[in-house]
Amino acid sequence: MKEVLERTRGNNTLIISEGNAFNESMLNFVVANQTPRFELNEEKLNMEGLLVNACGAIDDCKSCSKVTYNDGGEISRTPGVPYCDDELAEKESTAPVTVLGVTTEWQCN
């Protein structure tokens, strides 16, 4: 996605994607909480001079990964999965768990 955005920069081109991580595309269709939804990245759209009304966007959704650390260094990360509403709140409020120096936590962005 990064390469596509770089190649089209300055051409007033709308980039539409499906299933990308949040905030990578201009208009991204995703399935979150088993419901088809979309994300508008107003910053990327505005950078290209494209103006939209973001009503209905999934501003209350984020892409979350389970991250595991050992002695402060990351050892694994699951692929990001979109979560919204109550499921997102649950992931963001889950406390990190440490067992024998290995810590696992949710990271959402």
- Statement to judge: residues 73 and 99 lie in one domain: yes
Domain span at residue 90 reads 61-108
pLDDT the model gives residue 91: 93
pLDDT the model gives residue 95: 96
Structure-token match 């190649």, residue found? 7
- Statement to judge: residues 66 and 104 lie in one domain: yes
In a domain? residue 66 = yes
CA angle 69, 72, 76 (to 5 degrees): 25
Q: What is the pTM of this model?
A: 0.51
In a domain? residue 53 = no
In a domain? residue 102 = yes
- Statement to judge: residues 17 and 42 lie in one domain: yes
Structure-token match 């980039």, residue found? 15
- Statement to judge: residues 39 and 73 lie in one domain: no
pLDDT digits (tens, 9 = 90+) for 9-67: 887 788 888 877 767 788 888 887 777 887 878 888 888 887 665 444 455 678 899 99
In a domain? residue 35 = yes
